[in-house]
Structure 1
């Protein structure tokens, strides 16, 4: 019975530590907004994030797509947003690429850039081409391979949810194990 209590206590401690870690993980990674999110080789891309904080600065990394390994992120017109730009190389292959940013405050942000193939349509009317450039186009072929961010493999969307789900499973197992052992131990009494 003592072993069961020790194991239950250990499981609860692990679950509590997992839940305590969730806010720290969410605070260290932010979202990097990329505009336009779908481009062709040779296009200019603008990135921005709030991860660097008010008046913050940082460095972007577009080396996954063959772009610069370091470009500046500086405060934009909104004091809580930093902005940077880079050019997608003419040699970029179609696919989805992870673009990263590291802020001077230690926080990081990531986002996805989709590179499509093909040239802009030559026969489109002037008004149609103006509206087409404002809206991202669909990639010519589906992305292939893994994401290459250059700044790590953790993303805000999947990491937090997986940790919360794991902590919930551990807590459920601990409660069920305790209930089972108490119920089982109750039959031996006179």
Structure 2
């Protein structure tokens, strides 16, 4: 009797550990899979409120290249991929966060264009703040 109770308790704890480690959604996820050191996309301002526009930039790509940020895969509803172009110092582009976007941190990924040593993966994140409370 005691052995079966210990096995049941152990199985329950193992199941709970697996369930707690499972991802719960797309929006509130870490910006890069392995470490923050991979974050080579700079998002400014960050955080931003829904309806705002951010500048996304990187110095990780050769200035002879362009880059694409796959914003449509971020979990932010209604956004499209954006192209980053050379501004003299780095590659930059604009991303508008649609009104109604839920607060959370959204992962951004992309890649540098081909040239030199080939495509370079890009990682970053944008955090959307809750809307301001209406003043009555």
**Number of matched residues?**
92
Match of 1:92 in 2: 101
Measure how far apart 1:69 and its partner are. 3.2
Using the alignment, how far apart are the partners of 2:92 and 2:67 within structure 1? Answer: 9
Using the alignment, how far apart are the partners of 2:39 and 2:132 within structure 1? Answer: 33
Using the alignment, how far apart are the partners of 2:57 and 2:41 within structure 1? Answer: 6
Using the alignment, how far apart are the partners of 1:55 and 1:120 within structure 2? Answer: 45
Runs of at least 4 residues off by over 6 Å: none
Measure how far apart 1:66 and its partner are. 2.1
- Paired residue secondary structure (1:97): strand
Worse-superposed segment, 44-53 or 67-76: 67-76
How is 1:56-95 mapped onto 2 (pairs within 5 angstroms)? 56-63=65-72, 64=74, 65-78=76-89, 81-95=90-104
How is 1:63-142 mapped onto 2 (pairs within 5 angstroms)? 63=72, 64=74, 65-78=76-89, 81-105=90-114, 106-119=119-132
> Going by fraction, where is helix more abundant, 1 or 2?
1
- C-alpha distance after superposition, 1:56-102 (max 9, x if no partner): 10111222222533111100131xx1001110011210001111221
Greater Rg, structure 1 or structure 2? 1
Unaligned runs of 5+ in 2: 1-37
Measure how far apart 1:30 and its partner are. 5.6
Q: Is the 8 A contact 2:79 2:98 kept in 1?
A: no
TM-score scaled by length of structure 1: 0.44
TM-score scaled by length of structure 2: 0.60
Match of 1:174 in 2: none
Relative distance call for 1:95 and 1:53 in structure 2 (3 A) is same
Using the alignment, how far apart are the partners of 2:47 and 2:104 within structure 1? Answer: 10
Measure how far apart 1:36 and its partner are. 0.8
